[in-house]
Amino acid sequence: MPHQTIFEKSRRGRTGANLPECDVPRVDAAETLGAGALRTSLPLPEVSELDVVRHFTGLSHRNYSIDAGFYPLGSCTMKYNPKVNEKTAAMPGFAGLHPLQPEETAQGALQLIYELQSMLAEICGMDATTLQPSAGAHGELLAMMMVKAYHAERGEAHRNIVVIPDAAHGTNPASAARCNFKVKGIPGNDSGRTDIAALEKALDGNVAAFMLTNPNTVGLFESDIRRICELVHSVGGLVYCDGANMNAMLGLTRPGDMGFDVMHFNLHKTFSTPHGGGGPGCGAVSVKKILEPYLPTPHVVKSVVGDQATYTLDANRPQSIGRIHSFYGAFLLAVRAYTYIRTLGARGIREVGENAVLNANYIRARLADHYEVAFDNQVCMHEVVLSATRQKVQSGVRAMDISKRLMDYGLHPPTNYFPLIVPEALMIEPTETESKQTLDHFIDVMIKIAEEAKDNPELLKTAPHNTVVSRLDETYAVKNLDLRYEPIFTATE
């Protein structure tokens, strides 16, 4: 009985629960609620407990995760999440907290938030941090709201332009536009970095901010970053760092020292909290002093009387842009990230950055003879962007075909077709947690696929062949969007 939905496994009258006799008087729902409020059918699956266990265990076996195998999904930093994170997050003192319980009974939790805020500020060279945003894009939005408040308070509300490189994550222009800023895109230069002349041309007294990812979305360090920040500051703009690629810089260099005024972290990338099924994430935002008054409330602050430290939720911040999350953000993610940082220590944090960069360059060096490397095979940071243009010209094999073929070998594909400025992009981010043996295995498979692309392109164009489902019809899926499964009940046995 493979590949059946739980509805197809349903048999009338089968049940997984054995409820006791009702010991209160029965009420006629039609009489109480009105007959019109009752459904005539509620097609829920009728299955035994064992059916349910087998169904979901079977589905879980088809999942692919970092715990199951290599996951080089560029820009996503799919590093291993140490299990000790789960142990601390499950401690009853953290897991059992009520968000409304009195501050004096949650001092440990508040201390953890405060210390994580401080550690993140130290890691990125800023002055203050909030853990409220739910994701990187939420952090971008918060940053743009603070930038807006900052300019408005200085009597410069006319600043309505945010400059963004054309290789940026799509969320950057979306966040700026959401705050009513006009987005001005600038092209990159031939080395895959910010074109200084184009930036200078885009800058004037109407610019509120420049948003830049560093290392950028091509996996290259913006080597002119100090000059870039000076230029933006010289016209009164602020510089925002999209911290999606912070993993490459951990313990090695700090955005705050480069001149950035505000940045977000993705705790679910850099600090090993789960990416989850779309959430919850944490897009912590760190700022320089000039933006600190605008941080969302409540903000955890520390006060010391004698040798007694007290942590409080400060909601009395008149310049704050307000609340952007219920309560204090995803607190248990903070526990995991805190655990990660404290487990590694300063030296370990630096080794994360070093090994993330080393691993990406190892892959780059070994694959450079077999694939084009975007922007002339330079030394990269934590991720390497290959281009399948050689395969496309040779045999019509495209990046997507290579990715599908990787699945046949039990490997998760890299990010495809991003950044948009690189044709046939394959963006590979191995992270620091993979061994040389795992990297070699991946590289060997990639070389084999490059040979298959020459000798048997059809094999790639029709891949995957060894997976539970073969190539999906993405076009049909997009054009016939149907998110609601409606069971057809015919089973009567």
Instruction: Using only the alpha carbons of the chain, give its radius of gyration.
Output: 26
Instruction: Give the residue among 85, 83, 111 at the shortest CA–CA distance from 97.
Output: 111
- Closer CB to other proteins, 173 or 281, in the complex: 173
Residues of span 381-420 touching other proteins by CB under 8 A: 389, 400, 416-417, 420
Token readout for 2 is 């493979």
3-state secondary structure of 357: helix
Closest CB to other proteins among 54 and 182? 182
- Which position has the token pair 């010289």? 234
Comparing CB distances to other proteins, the nearer of 365 and 421 is: 421
Please identify, using beta-carbon distances, which residue of 81 and 387 lies nearer to other proteins.
387
Q: Residue-wise over 371-388: b if at least 16 C-beta within 10 A, else e?
A: bbbbbebbebbbbbbbbb
On whether the CB atoms of residues 126 and 256 are closer than 8 A, the answer is yes
- Smallest gap from residue 477 Cβ to other proteins (A): 9
Q: Classify 213 as helix, strand or coil.
A: strand
Interacting residues with other proteins between 6 and 25 (CB under 8 A): none
Parallel/antiparallel/unpaired status of strands 415-416 and 285-287: unpaired
Task: Give the residue with the Cβ less far from other proteins, 125 or 185.
Answer: 185
By beta-carbon proximity to other proteins, the closer residue of 187 and 205 is 187
Determine the interface stretch with other proteins among 104-112, 220-228, 272-280, 473-481 (rule: CB under 8 A): 473-481
> In the set 423, 441, 457, 487, which binds other proteins (CB under 8 A)?
423
Determine contact, residues 276/268, Cβ cutoff 8 Å: yes
Give the one residue of 57, 63, 437, 475 binding other proteins; rule: CB under 8 A. 475
479 interacts with other proteins by CB under 8 A: yes
Residue 469 CB, shortest distance to other proteins, in Å, is: 17
With contacts defined by CB under 8 A, name the span among 101-109, 110-118, 125-133, 421-429 that binds other proteins. Answer: 421-429
**CB of residue 390 vs other proteins: minimum separation in angstroms?**
11
Tell whether residue 209 is a contact of other proteins (CB under 8 A).
no
Please provide the DSSP assignment of 384-424 as one string: EEEETHHHHHHHS--HHHHHHHHHHTT----EES-STTSTT
Using the rule CB under 8 A, is 474 a contact of other proteins? yes
Q: Classify residue 471 as exposed, middle or buried by CB count within 10 Å of its CB (0-12, 13-18, 19+).
A: middle
Q: Does 377 bind other proteins (CB under 8 A)?
A: no
Residues at the interface with other proteins (CB under 8 A): 389, 400, 416-417, 420-424, 474-475, 478-479
